[in-house]
Amino acid sequence: DAGITQSPRHKVTETGTPVTLRCHQTENHRYMYWYRQDPGHGLRLIHYSYGVKDTDKGEVSDGYSVSRSKTEDFLLTLESATSSQTSVYFCAISGGGGGEAFFGQGTRLTVV
Amino acid sequence: AQKITQTQPGMFVQEKEAVTLDCTYDTSDPSYGLFWYKQPSSGEMIFLIYQGSYDQQNATEGRYSLNFQKARKSANLVISASQLGDSAMYFCAMREAQRGSQGNLIFGKGTKLSVKP
C-alpha cells in the first residue's frame, strides 16, 4: 500500500472555526491533491500541488487554502468553516505521467 | 463544460455477465491519461486501470479492460464475468499533461454498479 495518511479521520467542528486537515506521504511523490466527495458530485478537486510551495486551484477552491512546505505534507485549511463544507475529504498523491494516484482513507468533516 | 462525463448514475448487471461503464472526456491537450477507480461501500478508492492517449492498444488488467476510442473521446470500462464484489461506485478520471505539467487530475460523477446474484 502507498504510504499516505490523512489526519484526522473524523472531525466535528462549529461554524466559523478554522480547521486544518493534514495529508502525509512517505512516497516522495511530486503531486498531491485535495478532493471533496459529496453525493451526486463525485470527487471534486479543491487544490493541488506540483511541488514544494507550488500549488494551484481546482474546481471548488473557494473557502479553502493549502500549503506545502515539505514534499511529504500537504495541508488543507478551512479558514472559517461553513455547513456547506461538510463533506468527505480525500487526499491523493501521484508521481505524474502515467502513474496512478493513490488515495488516503478520507476525512469525514461535519460542520455544525 | 464537464471534462469527464459519466452518463449512467446507476447500473445493474447479472452475476457472471459482462458490463460496460461509459465515460466520455473533453480535452484539447494531445497528451493525457485516463483512469478508472472503484469505490466500494467501505469508502476507499481503488485504482483499476490506466490508458495513455498515445497508447496504441487498449489497456487490460485481469477482468478489466478499457475500450479507448480516441476519435470519439470515450474511455469505457468493461468488466467481464461480473462478481458480487464488483458492486461499487466507479469513477472515470483524466489527467492532462499540458495544463500542467501540474498534473491536474479530475473525476467524473461516478456510476453505481450493482451486481445481482
pLDDT in tens, B28-73: 888 889 999 999 999 999 999 999 999 999 999 999 999 999 999 9
Does a cis peptide bond (omega within 30 degrees of 0) precede residue A8? yes
What's the gap in Å between the CA of B2 and the closest CA on chain A? 11
Kindly identify which residue of chain A lies nearest to residue B98, measuring between CA atoms. A97
Three-state DSSP state, B90: strand
Location of C-alpha cell 449512467: B8
DSSP code for B63: T
pLDDT (tens, 9 = 90+) of chain A, 112 residues, equals 669 999 999 999 999 999 999 999 999 999 999 999 998 888 999 999 989 999 989 889 999 999 999 999 999 999 999 999 999 999 999 886 667 889 999 999 999 9
Give the per-residue pLDDT at B1: 57
Average pLDDT, rounded, for chain A: 93
Across A27-46, b (16+ Cβ under 10 Å) vs e yields: eebbbbbbbbbeeeebbbbb
| Cross-strand partners of A35 | A45, A90
Pick from B33, B47, B106: CB nearest A45: B106
Q: How far apart are the first and last CA of chain B?
A: 38
Judged by a CB distance cut-off of 8 A, whether residue A73 touches chain B is: no
State the virtual CA torsion across A51, A56, A60, A65 in degrees, nearest 10: 70
- The burial class, CB within 10 Å (0-12 / 13-18 / 19+), for B36 is buried
Q: What is the pLDDT of residues B9-27, one digit of tens each?
A: 999 999 999 999 999 999 8
Cβ–Cβ of B43/A106 closer than 8 Å?
yes
- Please state, in angstroms and as integers, the Cα–Cα distance from residue A64 to each residue in A3, A59, A110, following that order: 25, 11, 15
CB-nearest partner of B50 from A92, A96, A100: A100
For residues B106 and B117, give the distance between their C-alpha atoms in angstroms, rounded to a whole number: 33
Nearest residue in chain A measured CA to CA from B105 = A45
Q: Is the pLDDT of residue B102 over 70?
A: no
Q: What is the pLDDT of residue A95?
A: 81
Chain B, nearest residue to A42 by Cα = B109
Contacts of B43 (CB under 8 A, 6+ apart): A88, A105, A106
Query: What integer pLDDT is reported at residue A97 of this predicted model?
Result: 64
The pLDDT value recorded for residue B101 is 46
Question: What are the beta bridge partners of residue B92?
Answer: B36
